[in-house]
């Protein structure tokens, strides 16, 4: 039987998932917290976050918390804990945000401790998913029965889902790639060249893999869609918000100037210091994450950051 799906959070990602699943014939409700914006979306059948993409006729948009068999949570990372309190109990949750929580330094599945959940993550730009371009992602949870059920409910002819028991490794890949993408943007914005970016992506993956191992994640997750896949997309796709923020910094713009010019969430900004702090508790060295954190806090400028990365002690790969 077709499971009913509630998508919580009507930003770019939640709306793209809601459109995708509705077009695939699933009964979907998209929940937004703002009643005025909800009314505007209902009338225009469009979300300004995804300009030019029509909401399909079957998609219900509401500001009242829906009842559904499955809940997809597509709110920004820092809102995840608060939204959990507003959800009806029992229905399984699919966590779609990418980041670490400020203060606790926890990954999304580490925050949801009292009910069934899985993480959905991979190389997926919302605007491409919304228009039905082909893509793949990972649905990760150690609960094999839940994994099978969710993959069945959420895969579509254009959205291929792979299962994984490694929810921590998958969540870490999705969170950490935002930080490395900022660094890749800086490199390209500062005109440091394609060689430097390729080195950064590769060494970025190495430091993410070190932390994944320390957290009990699996090495193969790092070479999969949620690891290398999303890292590649976000470090090379110019429509990435994290990459473009880094690009602006590389070109000499200030952080506040860039953040002030956009309303969409750029997760790497909050995630970089949290990731660095989490790595420190496990004594894992993350030099690129450290460099991005110092750049964002204003402790170092672009030139000093690059000099610090290039002058580290020489070692075997």
Ligand X SMILES: NC(=O)C1=CN([C@@H]2O[C@H](COP(=O)(O)OP(=O)(O)OC[C@H]3O[C@@H](n4cnc5c(N)ncnc54)[C@H](O)[C@@H]3O)[C@@H](O)[C@H]2O)C=CC1
Ligand Y SMILES: O=C(CO)COP(=O)(O)O
Residue ranges at the known binding site:
9-14, 33, 98, 122, 126, 177, 230, 240-242, 265, 267
Can you say how many angstroms the Cα of residue 221 is from the centroid of all Cα atoms in its chain? 16
Question: Which residues neighbour 127 within 8 Å (Cβ) at sequence distance 6 or greater?
Answer: 12, 16, 50, 53, 239
Binding region for ligand X (CB under 6 A) out of 109-117, 207-215, 264-272, 294-302: 264-272
Active site residue 177: yes
Q: Which of 37, 177, 218, 315 is catalytic?
A: 177
Residues in region 57-76 near ligand X by CB under 6 A? 74-76
229 binds ligand X (CB under 6 A): no
Can you tell me which of 106, 117, 200, 233 binds ligand Y, judged by CB under 6 A? 233
Residues 156-185 that bind ligand Y (CB under 6 A): 178, 181
Task: Report the distance separating Cα 308 and Cα 61, nearest Å.
Answer: 49
DSSP E strands in 171-233: the ranges are: none
Length of the chain: 317
With CB under 5 to 8 Å by kind, the binding choice for 14 among ligand X, ligand Y, none is ligand X
Q: Which is nearer to ligand X, 144 or 264 (CB)?
A: 264
> Would you count residue 77 as binding ligand X (CB under 6 A)?
yes
Binding test (CB under 6 A) with ligand Y, winner from 23, 167, 197, 241: 241
Q: Can you tell me which residue has the tokens 């932390």?
A: 211
- Give the phi and the psi of residue 95 in degrees, each rounded to 5: -90, 120
Q: How far is the CB of 119 from ligand Y (least distance, A)?
A: 12
Is residue 27 within 8 A of residue 1, CB to CB? The reply is no
85 binds ligand X (CB under 6 A): no
| Rounded alpha-carbon distances, angstroms, from residue 286 to 206, 269, 292, 293, 309 | 9, 16, 10, 11, 11
Site membership for ligand Y, residue 23 (CB under 6 A): no
Q: How far apart are the C-alpha atoms of 129 and 17, rounded to whole Å?
A: 7
Beta bridge partners of 159: 135, 156
- Binding region for ligand Y (CB under 6 A): 98, 123-125, 178, 181, 230, 233-234, 240-242, 267
- Binding region for ligand X (CB under 6 A): 9-14, 33, 49, 74-77, 79, 82-83, 96-99, 124-126, 264-265, 267
Enzyme catalytic residues? 177
């Amino acid at each position: 039987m077709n499971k009913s799906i509630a998508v919580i959070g009507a930003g770019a990602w939640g709306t793209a998932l809601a459109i995708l699943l509705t077009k695939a014939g699933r009964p979907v409700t998209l929940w937004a917290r703002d009643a005025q914006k909800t009314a505007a979306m209902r009338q225009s059948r469009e979300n300004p976050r995804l300009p030019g993409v029509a909401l399909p006729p079957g998609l219900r948009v509401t500001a009242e918390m829906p009842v559904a068999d499955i809940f997809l949570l597509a709110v920004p990372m820092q809102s995840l804990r608060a939204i959990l309190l507003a959800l009806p109990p029992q229905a399984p949750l699919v966590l779609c945000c990418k980041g670490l929580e400020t203060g606790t330094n926890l990954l999304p599945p580490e925050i949801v401790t009292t009910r069934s959940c899985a993480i959905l993550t991979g190389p997926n730009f919302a605007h491409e998913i919304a228009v039905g371009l082909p893509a793949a992602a990972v649905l990760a949870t150690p609960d094999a029965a839940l994994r099978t059920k969710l993959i069945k409910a959420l895969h579509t002819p254009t959205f291929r889902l792979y299962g994984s028991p490694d929810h921590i490794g998958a969540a870490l890949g999705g969170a950490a790639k935002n930080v490395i993408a900022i660094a890749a943007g800086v490199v390209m914005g500062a005109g440091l060249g394609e060689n430097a970016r390729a080195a950064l992506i590769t060494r970025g993956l190495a430091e993410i893999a070190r932390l994944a191992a320390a957290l009990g994640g699996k090495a193969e997750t790092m070479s999969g869609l949620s690891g290398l896949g999303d890292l590649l997309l976000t470090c090379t796709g110019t429509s990435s918000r994290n990459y473009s923020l880094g690009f602006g910094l590389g070109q000499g713009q200030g952080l506040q100037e860039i953040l002030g010019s956009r309303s969409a969430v750029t997760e790497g900004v909050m995630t970089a210091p949290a990731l660095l702090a989490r790595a420190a508790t496990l004594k894992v060295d993350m030099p690129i994450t450290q460099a991005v954190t110092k750049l964002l806090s204003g402790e170092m400028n672009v030139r000093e950051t690059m000099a610090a990365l290039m002058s580290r002690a020489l070692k075997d790969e």
